[in-house]
Structure 1
Amino acid sequence: MLFSGRRRKLAVNAQTEIYGQPLQFYGQPPLENISLSEFETFAVDRLKLLKTVETLGVSYVKASEQYSFKLMNESKSLNFPYRPEAGSMDDRKPQPGPTEYDKRRKDHISHFILRLAYCQTEDLRRWFIQQEVDLFRHRFSELHPKQKLEFLHRNNLQYDTISVEEKKALQDKLISSSAGISGITVEDQDFYKVPFQDALDVVRMRKVYLKAGYVYIPHQDIVTIVLNDFRTRLSKALALTARSLPAVHSDERLQPLLNHLSHAYVGQDYSIQKNVGKISLEQIDSLSAKSFPLCMRQLHQALRENHHLRHGGRMQYGLFLKGIGLSLEQALQFWRSEFIRGKVDADKFDKAYAYSVRHMFGKEGKRTDYTPFSCMKVILSNPPSQGDHHGCPFRHSDPELLKQKLQFYKVSPSGIHQILELVKGMHYQLACQKYFELTHNVEDATFSLNHPNQYFTESQKLLGTGRDMKRETDGAQRSQENASTKGSSTAREAAAKPPQQIAEMTEELDSFFQDA
Structure 2
Amino acid sequence: MRNVELIAMQFSGSRRKKVIGSSQNDLYDHFLQFYAQPPLENISLTEFETFAVERLKLLKTVENLGVSYLKNSDQYVKKIEKEFANLNFPYRTELEERKNQAGPSEYEKRRKDHISHFILRLAYCQTEDLRRWFIQQEMDLFRYRFGLLSAQHKTDFLHKNNLNYDTVSAEEKTILKDKLINSTYGLSGITVEANEFYKVPFQDALDLVRSRKVYLLAGNAFIPHQEIVTIVLNDFRTRLSKALAMTARSLPAVQSDERLQPLLNLLSHAYVGQDYSIQKNIGKISLEQIDALAAKSFPLCKRHLHKALRESHHLRHGGRMQYGLFLKGIGLTLEQALQFWRSEFIRGKVDADKFDKAYAYSIRHMFGKEGKRTDYTPYSCMKVILSNPPSQGDYHGCPFRHSDPELLKQKLQSYKISPSGISQILELVKGMHYQLACQKYFELTHNIEDAGFSLNHPNQYFTESQRFLGGGIKKEIETSQRSQESVSSNATNVSQPPANSQQTNEETGDLDSFFQDE
Give secondary structure in 1 for the equivalent of 2:223: strand
Counterpart for residue 74 of structure 1: 83
Equivalent-residue separation in structure 2 for 1:11 and 1:275 (angstroms): 60
SS, match of residue 199 in structure 2:
strand
Per-residue deviation at 1:21?
1.2
Equivalent of 2:153, from 143, 147, 161?
A: 147
Say which SS state the counterpart of residue 242 (structure 2) adopts: helix
SS at match of 1:86: helix
What is the CA-CA distance between 1:2 and the residue it aligns to?
6.7
Give per-residue Cα distances to partners, 1:139-164, cap 9 Å, x unaligned. Answer: 00001222111110111111122111
Aligned partners of 2:454 and 2:312: how far apart in 1? 33
Quick one: structure 1 residues 350 and 223, their matched pair in 2 at CA, closer, same or farther if it must change by over 3 Å?
Answer: same
Task: Tell me if the contact between 1:192 and 1:217 (Cα under 8 Å) persists in the aligned partners.
Answer: yes
Q: What whole-Å deviation, never above 9, does each CA across 1:49-75 have from its counterpart, x for those lacking one?
A: 000000000011223332222111111
Asked if the contact 1:11/1:32 (under 8 Å) is kept, the reply is no
Counterpart Cα distance in 1 of 2:102 and 2:319: 55
Matched, 1:48 2:57: yes
Q: The residue matched to 2:94 in structure 1 has which SS?
A: coil
- 1:514, distance to aligned residue in structure 2 (A): 4.6
Which residue in 2 is equivalent to 1:23?
Answer: 32
Q: CA RMSD in A?
A: 2.3
Shift of 1:168: 1.0
What is the CA distance between 1:248 and its match in structure 2?
A: 1.1
Tell me if the contact between 1:29 and 1:514 (Cα under 8 Å) persists in the aligned partners: no
* Contact residue 329 and residue 459 of structure 2 kept, 8 A: yes
**1:381-392 equivalence runs, <5 A:** 381-392=387-398
| TM, length-normalised to structure 1 | 0.90
Task: Report the alpha carbon displacement of residue 87 of structure 1 after superposing the two structures with TM.
Answer: 7.7
Q: Secondary structure at the match of 2:271?
A: coil
What is the rounded CA distance, in whole Å, between the counterparts of 1:322 and 1:87 in structure 2? 51
Greater mean deviation of Cα atoms: 154-163 or 307-316: 154-163
* Alignment pair present for 1:442 and 2:448: yes
Matches within 5 A, 1:391-470: 391-465=397-471
Q: Does residue 93 of structure 2 align to residue 117 of structure 1?
A: no
Structure 1 counterpart of 2:74: 65
Q: SS where residue 99 of structure 1 aligns? A: helix
Alignment partners' CA distance in 1, 2:59 and 2:21: 28
Report the CA distance between 1:94 and its aligned residue: 4.8
Tell me if structure 2 keeps the 8 A contact 1:375–1:450.
yes
- One-letter amino acid matched to 1:510: D
Change (3 A) 1:315 1:11: farther
SS in 1 for 2:37: coil
The answer to whether residue 101 in structure 2 is matched with residue 93 in structure 1 is yes
Q: Report the number of matched residues.
A: 486
Q: Which runs of 4+ in 1 moved over 3 A?
A: 1-4, 9-13, 465-470
Quote the Cα distance in structure 2 between the aligned partners of 1:81 and 1:513: 24
Paired-residue identity, %: 76
Q: Distance in 1 between matches of 2:351 and 2:431?
A: 45
Quick check: 255-264 or 64-73, which moved more? 64-73
Native 8 Å contact 1:263 1:376 kept in 2: yes
C-alpha distance 316-92 of structure 1, shift in aligned 2 (>3 A): same
Structure 2: gaps (5+ residues): 9-17, 479-497
Give the structure 2 partner of residue 510 of structure 1: 512
Contact kept? 1:162, 1:193, Cα under 8 Å: yes
Q: SS of 2:221's equivalent?
A: strand
What one-letter code is carried by the residue in structure 1 that aligns with 2:382? Answer: M
Matched, 1:300 2:306: yes
What residue identity is the alignment partner of 1:93? Q
Bigger helix share = 1
Which residue of 2 is the match for residue 476 of structure 1? Answer: none
1:263 aligns with 2:272: no
Counterpart secondary structure, 2:114? helix
* Preserved contact between residue 196 and residue 210 of structure 1 (Cα < 8 Å): yes
Q: Which residue of 2 aligns with 1:485?
A: none
The answer as to whether partners of 1:149 and 1:160 remain within 8 angstroms in 2 is no
Q: Tell me, yes or no, if the aligned pair for 1:86 and 1:144 is still in contact at 8 Å.
A: no
Decide whether aligned partners of structure 1 residues 133 and 353 sit closer, same or farther in structure 2, where only a CA change above 3 A counts: same
2:233 maps to which residue?
227
Per the alignment, in what secondary structure is the counterpart of residue 389 of structure 1? coil
Q: Secondary structure at the match of 2:143?
A: helix
Are 2:197 and 2:224, in contact at CA under 8 Å, matched by a contact in 1? Answer: yes
Task: Tell me the amino acid that sits aligned with residue 234 of structure 2.
Answer: N
Distance in 1 (alpha carbons) for counterparts of 2:306 and 2:96? 59
Residues 72 and 83, structure 1, Cα contact 8 Å, conserved in 2: no
Could you say if the C-alpha distance between residues 11 and 388 of structure 1 is closer, same or farther in structure 2, counting changes exceeding 3 Å? farther
Deviates more, 1:294-303 or 1:195-204: 195-204
In structure 2, what is the Cα distance between the partners aligned to 1:401 and 1:126? 25
Q: What TM-score results when the alignment is normalised by the length of structure 2?
A: 0.90
Report the AA paired with residue 255 of structure 2: H
Residues in 2 aligned to 1:87 and 1:291: alpha-carbon distance in whole angstroms: 47
**Distance in 1 separating the partners of 2:267 and 2:260:** 11
In 2, distance between residues paired with 1:455 and 1:92? Answer: 41
Shift of 1:3: 8.2
